[in-house]
Amino acid sequence: MAAAIVEARGLHKHFGALHVLKGVDLDVAERELVFVIGPSGSGKSTLLRCLNRLEEPSAGSIMVDGINLLDPRTDINHARQRIGMVFQSFNLYPHMTALGNVTLALRKVAGKSRGEADAIGRQALERVGLGDRAGHTPGQLSGGQQQRVAIARSIALEPRVMLFDEPTSALDPELVGSVLGVMRDLRDSGMTMVVVSHEMGFARNAADRVLFMDEGVVVEQGPPAAIFENPSHDRTRAFISQIQRH
Amino acid sequence: MEALIQSFFNAEIAAAALPIVLDGLLNTILLSLLVVPLGLLGGLILALLANVRHPLVRWPLMAWVDFFRAFPPLVLLVLLFAGLPFAGLELGGFACVAIAFFLNTGAYYGEILRAGIDSVPVGQVEAARSTGLSGLQAMTYVVLPQAVRNVLPDLMSNTLEVVKLTSLGSVVAVPELLFQARQAQSVTYNPTPIVMAAVVYFLILWPLVRLLSRLENRALAARR
Ligand SMILES: Nc1ncnc2c1ncn2[C@@H]1O[C@H](COP(=O)(O)OP(=O)(O)OP(=O)(O)O)[C@@H](O)[C@H]1O
Ligand SMILES: [Mg+2]
C-alpha cells in the first residue's frame, strides 16, 4: 500500500452537549479516492472539516502529508495549502473574476507574483474546461461552472489531498455531469480525494473505497461493490436501499 | 420686498463676503477630508473588534458604542474644548473636532460596517481560510470588499451627515463655512453671508444626495 496522505485517529467532536464524532479513524492512501456516505447529521461534513481544521476536533490526532495538523506549533495556513476543499455552495468570491478567485491565495499565501499567479490560474481554469471564462464573475457563470472554478481555486495550489463536501448537491441535475467529469479527471491524474456525496453512480466507478457513517461512527467500509451489493450491517443496507429508491 | 432683498440677497455685501465665505468652504472641505477618514478608521477598528467574541472585548465595546451614539456630538465637542484645558491639554478647535468626530461618527460607521461584515456569508471566510489565507487576509481581501459594497448606501448617508456636522466646528472657533459666514454677518450687520453659506452647503451636498438616491434605488432593484 502506498504511503498514507491522511491519517486521522480517534477523532471526537462535541458541539456543546452534542457528540457528533465518536472516535473516527480514517486513513487515506496516496492516489486513493475515499467516498463517504451516511444519513443527514451523521457527521460527514464535520469529519471533512476537521481534516483541514475548519472545525477543531475535541480529541484525536490528524496527520496530513506528514504534518501534525493539531500541533499548536504547526503553521495551519501553510498546511491548508496542501489540503484543497470544495464546498456544496461553491463559496466563490462574488466580487472577483474567476481568475481572481483562483489567484488570490497563489498571490497572498504562496507568494507568487501577479504574472506567475495568472499563468498558474489560467492553467487551472483550462483544466476544468473554463479557460475562456477567466474574466467572468461568479454571477455570470452557471452553478456547474462556478463549482468548477471552485475546484480550479483548490487545484491551483497543488494540494496533496482534496476534500469534497457534497460538491454536486446544489446543482441542477443537468449540470452535475460536468462537475463529476472534472472530479473524474482529477482522480485519473492521481489526486488523493475524500468525497462526501450521494452520487452513487460516481462512487461505483470512481471510488476505491466507500465508507458508511452513522451517528458519528464509521459503521463499515470496503470496495464500492461490497458496500452497495453486499453490506454487512443492517443500517448500511437500510440507508443504501433508501437512497436508491430516490 | 425691497427690504427683504436688501437684507437677505444683498449683492454688494455678497461680493464683499465672498472671499470670507470661500475661505470657510475650503476649511469645511479640509475638515471633512480629515473627519470622514478618521470616523471610518474608528468605525473599522470597532467593527473588527466586534468580531472578537471574548467577553472582555465584547462588553466594553458595546458600552463604548452605545455611549458615543447616545452622547450628543455638540455636547461632546464643547466638553472636549472647554474641559481638556483643565486636564492640562490645550488642543485647539481643529483637534477637538477631530477627536469628537473620531469618537462620535466612528461609533456610527462602526455599526454600519459591522452590519456589512455580518451580511457576508460565513462560507466566504471558510473558503478563504481553506486556501491558507490568514484571518486578517480573509477579512481584508474577501469579507471587507463585500461588506462595504453591501452597506454602501448607509456609509454614504452617514458621510453626508458627517459633512453637515462639520458646521459644529463653528462653536469652537474653527473657521469653517458657517463660522466664516457668521463672522461676515457680524461685521456687515446683514444675514446675506448666511444665505450664501446655505447655498454653498446645498451645492456641495446635493450631488452627494443624488448619488445616494441612485445607490439606494439600485440596492432596492437588486433585492427584487
Ligand atoms: N457549528 C455547529 N454547531 C452546532 N452543531 C453543529 C455544528 N455543525 C454541525 N452540527 C451538528 O452536528 C451534527 C452533524 O453535522 P454534519 O454537518 O457533520 O452532518 P452531515 O453528515 O454532514 O449531514 P448532511 O448530510 O445533512 O450534510 C448535526 O446534528 C449538526 O446539527
Ligand atoms: Mg454535510
CATH number, residue B11: 1.10.3720.10
pLDDT reading at B14 higher than 90: no
**Mind listing the pLDDT tens digit for each residue in A207-241?**
999 999 999 999 999 999 999 999 999 999 999 98
Grid cell listed for A44: 460527514
Q: Which residue lies with its CA nearest to atom 30 of ligand 1? A: A41
CB pairs under 8 A between A and B: 64
CB contact under 8 A, B132 and A105: yes
Cα separation of B182 and B121, whole Å? 50
CA separation, residue B5 to residues A175, B2, B10, B16, B28 (Å):
73, 5, 6, 16, 27
Q: Name, of A204-218, B16-30, B95-109, the range with top average pLDDT.
A: A204-218
**Mind listing the pLDDT tens digit for each residue in A156-207?**
999 999 999 999 999 999 999 999 999 999 999 999 999 999 999 999 989 9
Q: What is the pLDDT of residue A50?
A: 97
Grid cell listed for A199: 452520487
Q: Are A31 and A209 in contact (CB under 8 A)?
A: no
pLDDT reading at A1 higher than 70: no
Q: Are A214 and A45 in contact (CB under 8 A)?
A: no
Q: Is residue A197 in contact with ligand 1, taking CB distance under 6 Å?
A: no
3-state secondary structure of A83: strand
Q: What is the pLDDT of residue A85?
A: 98
Annotate chain B with three-state secondary structure: CHHHHHHHCCHHHHHHHHHHHHHHHHHHHHHHHHHHHHHHHHHHHHHHHCCCCCHHHHHHHHHHHHHHHHCCHHHHHHHHHHHHHHHCCCCHHHHHHHHHHHHHHHHHHHHHHHHHHHCCCHHHHHHHHHCCCCHHHHHHHHHHHHHHHHCHHHHHHHHHHHHHHHHHHHHHCCCCHHHHHHHHHHHHCCCHHHHHHHHHHHHHHHHHHHHHHHHHHHHHHHHC
CA separation, residue B144 to residues A41, B112, B121, B139, B188 (Å):
32, 12, 12, 6, 51
Q: What is the pLDDT of residue A246?
A: 64
* A61 CA to centre of own chain: 19
- The residue of chain A nearest to residue B143, with distances taken between CA atoms, is A93
CB contact under 8 A, B146 and A108: no
Task: Check the CA dihedral A221-A223-A228-A230 and report its sign.
Answer: negative
Residue A190 DSSP class: T
**Mind listing the pLDDT tens digit for each residue in B163-189?**
999 999 888 888 888 888 888 888 888
Cα separation of B57 and A149, whole Å? 38
Cell 504511503 belongs to residue: A3
Q: What is the mean pLDDT of residues A79-84?
A: 95
Q: What is the pLDDT of residue A220?
A: 95
* Among B24, B34, B29, residue whose Cα is nearest residue B175: B24
Q: What is the pLDDT of residue A2?
A: 60
* Among A28, A104, A23, residue whose Cα is nearest residue B133: A104
Range of the domain at B30: 2-222
| Band of pLDDT at residue B46, cut at 50, 70 and 90 | very high
3-state secondary structure of A109: coil
Q: What is the pLDDT of residue A199?
A: 92
Q: Which atom of ligand 1 is nearest to the CA of A13?
A: 12
Residue A74 Cα to ligand 2 middle (Å): 27
Q: Of all residues in chain B, what percent carry a pLDDT higher than 70? A: 99
Q: What is the pLDDT of residue B94?
A: 86
- For chain B, the domain total comes to 1
CB contact under 8 A, B132 and A153: no
CA separation, residue A48 to residues A14, A26, A199, A218, B215 (Å):
15, 10, 17, 13, 41
ipTM: 0.94
* Among A223, A227, A231, A219, residue whose Cα is nearest residue A39: A219
Lowest-confidence pick of A94-108, A162-176, B66-80: B66-80
* A47 CA to centre of own chain: 11
Cα separation of A203 and B97, whole Å? 67
pTM of the shown model: 0.89
Strand partners, B208: none
- How wide is the angle at C-alpha B37 spanned by C-alphas B56 and B195, nearest 5°? 125
| Band of pLDDT at residue B8, cut at 50, 70 and 90 | confident
- How wide is the angle at C-alpha A134 spanned by C-alphas A130 and A138, nearest 5°? 90
3-state secondary structure of A96: coil
Task: Identify all chain A residues contacting B127, using CB atoms and an 8 Å cutoff.
Answer: 85, 87, 91-93, 150, 153
